[in-house]
Structure formats: structure tokens, C-alpha cells
Amino acid sequence: MGYTFLRPRILLASGVSALMIALSGCAADHYFMVPKEGVEDIRTAVNKQRATLVTMESNAGVRQEQLLNQSQQATQTILDAISTQVEKPSCPPPVVRQSCPPPPKDTGRADRLKGKVVVGEVEKLFLADPGIVYTARIDSGAETSSIHARNVKRFERDGGNWVRFEVPVPGAESEQWVTMEKEVSRRVKIIQSAADEAERRVVVELQFAIGDHQQVAEFTLADRTNLTYEVLIGRNVLRDVMLIDVGKEFATELPKSYVDQTSTGDDA
């Protein structure tokens, strides 16, 4: 059996750990005798471990590069999102209701009983928008007030339901109509004795004045062509606000400034 001489520092592989323990009592500078037939196995094991270490180091480098790229991409995505200018959502402008113009001196007249306006069977009514004076019938038998309207067309505005319609201008030399646009308050079902089926009508809120009393109330848009008055005041206005004196007509007076804005007629 032949022997060869090796220094201890070449015995790095785990396969020679037992040999190093056996030789631990010897000085590090001495040569040790190892059987030749075992040297090749040791060298092969060492080379395999070296190759394994190189492969592991290479894989670790590739993995580190991948993680670094992913981190850079995520950071860039966040930076792009921050730098992107997103337009803030804007709310639609609030609907500005036209209010009755306050008269400077003449405030109109309306008698009151226990805080309620006393009205007759017929009264002058000032419609704030578009500023027209109508002759209105006061009817406690009607639940909802109504106004004569034509060309009623529903449409959408800012996500809400609106309606466009025309109201007449009473007392004009020739037939005149004014276009109005209002948000739909609701729809009601009207059953008339002369009709076979119920009619669905649009309801809108209108601001008006009777005497010195101003109010916002719901009105149905109806075809009142065959009726005497373009406007009907029902219980939704009268309730808790007005009392009817059936023996009177025009018990109230509008401010002169309202009347001057339009010509009026008692009948329509």
C-alpha cells in the first residue's frame, strides 16, 4: 500500500472530518500519511462541494437580482401613481331657486285669523319663476295644487330627474308661453271621472306668493285648457297656512311691484 503526504488545510471537505480529529494532536506544519487510494475520493468530494458552493452562490446572485428588480418595479409603480395628477370629482352646482323679489315698500296685504291667511275662492298668485301673476282658484277639495302646462318633457341632469315644460302668460295680446325647467319632486296618479284610465302626472316644487304670504309648494303639471283658471290651489298649500272665506274673492292683494311685472286677466 502506497502513501502520499498532504497538509491538513486541504482537508476542508466534510468527508475527512474524522481524519482531522484523529490527527488533531499533531502539529499543523507536519505532513501526514494518507493511503493513496483515499486521496482521489477526497479530492472528488472536495471538487463536488466546490461546484455545489459555486452553484449556490450563482443561484443566490440570480435570486438577489430578481428581488432587486421586483423591488425597483414596485417602487416605480408607487412613484408613478403619486406623480399622476387625478382630477378631483366636482359636485354639480346647487340649484338656485329664484325667490320672490322683496318689495321695498309695498308688501301686499292679507288678513289673518289665528295666524292663518284668509283667502277667498279666487286669488291673485305671483309665480316667482318666471315672474307671472295668475288668477288662481282656491279649492279645498283638491289634495295637490296644479298649474296649466304643455310640452312636458322629462330629462336627466347631474344624475337627477328633471322636467322641461311651458306655462302660459295670461293677458297677453297673443298667445305666449314661457319655458321652465324644474327638478321632478315625484309623480302622482290622477283618476278623473271622464277618463277610463288613471293619468300619471309630474309634480314639481314652485315658489309663489299670495298677498304678503310667500311659500314653496308642490304643483302637478296638468292640461287645464278647458278650465277657467290656469292655477289651482289645493289642500297641500291651504293646510295649516290658509283659511277660505267662501263669500269673498280676491281677499288678498299682491305687492304692486309683483303686479307691475306682468299683465293679468281674471279668466284664461
Q: Is 234 helix (H, G, I), strand (E, B) or coil?
A: coil
What is the pLDDT, as a whole number, of residue 161? 94
Q: What is the mean pLDDT of each run of 10 residues along the chain (268 residues)?
A: 49 48 50 63 80 82 84 83 64 63 70 93 94 95 95 94 95 88 89 68 95 95 93 95 94 88 48
Phi and psi torsions of 83, nearest 5°: -80, -15
What is the pLDDT, as a whole number, of residue 162? 96
What is the pLDDT, as a whole number, of residue 254? 94
| Edge-to-edge strand ranges of the sheet holding 116-119 | 112-113, 116-119, 242-244
Phi and psi torsions of 194, nearest 5°: -85, -10
For residues 129, 241, 247, 143, the Cα torsion angle rounded to the nearest 10 degrees is: 70
Report the DSSP pairing between strands 213-222 and 122-127. unpaired
* Contact predicate 224/190, CB 8 Å: no
Alpha carbon distance, N-terminus to C-terminus of the chain = 137
pTM higher than the cut 0.85: no
Neighbours of 169 (CB within 10 A): 20
Q: In whole angstroms, what is the distance from residue 149 CA to residue 178 CA?
A: 10
Quickly list DSSP for 189-211.
Answer: EE--TT-SS-EEEEEEEEEEEET
Residue labelled with grid coordinates 279649492: 139
